Amino acid sequence: MDVSRLKAWSLAYAGGAVASPVLATTVSWQAGLLVLGVLLIIFGCRLLSQWQHRKTLIALIREAPAGTLVVHREGKGGPSTRIQVGRTSRKGPQ
């Protein structure tokens, strides 16, 4: 196989976008860094969201009057939950 056919085959195999092994390595590193960056951004947003959720729940529990019922609907975090804040004058669950 002569060199011109080999070059044409390698360009056709790579879709014409990558002309050399050095460029192929650079593109794959750039793609890897892009994917890693996107994953870190998503992780950071989810972490901030969870932190804000917990902060809001704690503030609600601190400021809520006795007998307040806090209901969390079913979602990604798990099943629905009911929390009663403080004590009521009633005895036992109703």
Residue 74, amino acid: E
Q: How far apart are CA 86 and CA 89, in angstroms?
A: 10
Which pTM value belongs to this model? 0.51
When pLDDT is averaged across residues 15-33 and rounded to a whole number, the result is 68
pLDDT at residue 93 in the model: 56
CA distances from 53 to 50, 58, 65, 94 (A): 5, 9, 20, 28
CA 15/CA 36 separation, integer angstroms = 25
More confident residue, 93 or 38: 38
